[in-house]
């Protein structure tokens, strides 16, 4: 079983169009799943692409597509193969592949041939999805264009404590791991000036005698060992950490240790 996982900023209708375009060429029983990117965020897409790579079956394809047409970015369409995890990436060269490149060596990078790249076309449907389907079906990646070097790939470099993702509960996934924190369990810290505590074990978060309601918590999250900032909810109407801190994906936050 193989998957095409689309981490994208497409609308619901566009996702269906891309699913049809991809499965037209893919092997039978190929699964197409989509993961919505928050507010056209290249950073959020890069995080979701990396997250999907953790669990996809070998031979699967990730379409990482956010293209806000930022001036100065060489927006060529690319396809990349990672042999160590037997995974393909297809998408625009806008930086959405950055966290994959940080973790895995790219074996083959292709500049996809497409004459209408500079026209007002929906390349998710017209190019990226068909290429993804054909890769699933066994087409060699070299058949889709010319090989280019890693130096041609646009790479995001975001600092520690950058917000990579905000979930539906308002929890923040940030660009930092526990090994990078100079704290012990329940050290006194603050986030953007608001007092918080550090909980290394999830059981600590559910212990109401240890953590007070509405407390801001820095803890080890469930995604790629990145830290997560939560707010312990007193009730279902309580606001999350993102609303409390008034932050968005891509913002840098300040974590200070007392």
In a domain, 197, yes or no: yes
Which range of residues forms the domain containing residue 178? 163-257
- Residues 88, 25 share a domain: yes
The model's pLDDT over 33-66, given as tens digits with 9 standing for 90+, comes to: 999 998 889 999 999 999 999 999 999 999 999 9
Residue 175 has pLDDT above 90, yes or no: yes
Whole-angstrom Cα distance, residue 123 to residue 22? 12
Residue 7 near residue 52, CB atoms below 8 Å: yes
In a domain, 228, yes or no: yes
Q: State the average pLDDT over residues 191-219.
A: 76
- Residues 138, 185 share a domain: no
CA 114 to chain centre: 26
Question: Which pLDDT band holds residue 114 (cuts at 50, 70, 90)?
Answer: confident
SS3 of residue 142 by DSSP:
helix
Residue 132 has pLDDT above 70, yes or no: yes
Whole-angstrom Cα distance, residue 143 to residue 172? 41
**112/237: higher pLDDT:** 112
Q: State the average pLDDT over residues 27-37.
A: 95
Q: Which residues of 24-63 are buried (b: 16+ CB within 10 A; e: fewer)?
A: ebbeeebbbebbebbeebbbbbbbbbbbbbeebeebbbbb
- Residues 128, 187 share a domain: no
SS3 of residue 252 by DSSP:
strand
Q: What is the pLDDT of residue 235?
A: 61
For the chain, the domain total comes to 2
Q: What is the pLDDT of residue 179?
A: 83
Q: State the average pLDDT over residues 93-113.
A: 95
- Residues 132, 208 share a domain: no
The model's pLDDT over 199-211, given as tens digits with 9 standing for 90+, comes to: 876 666 666 556 6
Question: Which pLDDT band holds residue 180 (cuts at 50, 70, 90)?
Answer: confident
Whole-angstrom Cα distance, residue 249 to residue 208? 29
């Amino acid at each position: 079983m193989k998957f095409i996982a689309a981490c994208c900023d497409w609308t619901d209708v566009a996702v269906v169009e891309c699913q049809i375009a991809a499965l037209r060429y893919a092997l039978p029983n190929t699964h197409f799943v989509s993961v919505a990117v928050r507010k056209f965020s290249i950073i959020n897409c890069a995080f979701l692409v990396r997250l999907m790579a953790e669990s996809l079956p070998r031979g699967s394809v990730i379409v990482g597509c956010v293209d806000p047409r930022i001036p100065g970015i060489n927006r060529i369409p690319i396809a990349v193969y990672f042999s160590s995890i037997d995974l393909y990436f297809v998408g625009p060269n806008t930086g959405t592949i950055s966290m994959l490149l940080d973790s895995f060596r790219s074996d083959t990078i292709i500049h996809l041939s497409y004459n209408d790249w500079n026209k007002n076309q929906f390349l998710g449907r017209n190019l990226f999805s068909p290429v993804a389907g054909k890769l699933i079906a066994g087409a060699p990646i070299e058949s889709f264009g010319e090989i280019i070097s890693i130096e041609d790939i646009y790479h995001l470099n975001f600092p520690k404590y950058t917000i990579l993702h905000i979930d539906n509960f308002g929890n923040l996934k940030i660009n930092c791991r526990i090994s990078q924190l100079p704290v012990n369990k329940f050290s006194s810290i603050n986030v953007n000036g608001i007092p918080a505590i550090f909980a290394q074990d999830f059981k600590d978060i559910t212990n109401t005698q240890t953590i007070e309601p509405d407390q801001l918590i820095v803890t080890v999250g469930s995604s790629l060992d990145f830290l997560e900032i939560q707010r312990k909810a007193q009730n279902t109407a309580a606001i999350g950490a993102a609303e409390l801190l008034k932050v968005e994906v891509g913002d840098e936050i300040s974590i200070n240790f007392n």
